[in-house]
Structure 1
């Protein structure tokens, strides 16, 4: 499922629910729908920036279990890739960037950020 973040300060941001949930957990917000008020945007920006800095410092590149299973299934014990593409992961900072930019715009224009889940 997708989560759509909306603000009058910028274009909509679509994110897979599993990735949005991680961000919303950091912000102590409901996963299904909610609001980051204009007054909360500055704190939300600081929280996301801190998480990004922490993860970059640790050089963590989280890979989902599903991707790990797929890699194991397509590679043999010699490490041959059976002509499959190299595994490329998307970092938390890359996933969070569009929402972080929305929060910055909302903060600048004193606007709220709303979201809900699309089926």
Structure 2
């Protein structure tokens, strides 16, 4: 399932729920529907930036890429696709950028509506 994060201050950010779950858990938010208010943006940004820093110290804990969601190389089957690591910092980056813009513009971020 996809989660579409929306804010007036930046373009929409789409994430698979399984990848957004870690971020939303850190922020104590429901993946089905929620809001990060303009007042919460600074704290949310701080929490996520700290988690990104921590994840860089322990990259072996990052989630593997879902090969079904990405294009296969020519002639490659899903069963033989090479699993690649996608670090938490890469997954969180679009939402971090959205949070920075929301904080700067005093806007909220919503999803599930």
Q: Is 1:102 aligned with 2:94? A: no
- Gaps spanning 5+ residues in structure 2: where? 68-79
Question: Does the 8 Å CA contact 2:36/2:108 hold for their aligned counterparts?
Answer: yes
> 1:92 is matched with which residue?
88
- Cα pair distance change 1:63/1:28, threshold 3 Å: closer
Query: For the residues of structure 1 that align with 2:83 and 2:19, how far apart are their CA atoms?
Result: 19
Query: For the residues of structure 1 that align with 2:81 and 2:60, how far apart are their CA atoms?
Result: 21
- Determine which structure has more spread, i.e. the larger CA radius of gyration: 1
Q: Which has the higher contact order (CA 8 A, sep 6+)?
A: 1
> 1:34 is matched with which residue?
34
Q: Displacement, 1:63?
A: 3.9
Number of equivalenced pairs? 100
- Cα pair distance change 1:87/1:113, threshold 3 Å: same
Query: For the residues of structure 1 that align with 2:94 and 2:63, how far apart are their CA atoms?
Result: 20
Note the aligned Cα RMSD (angstroms): 1.8
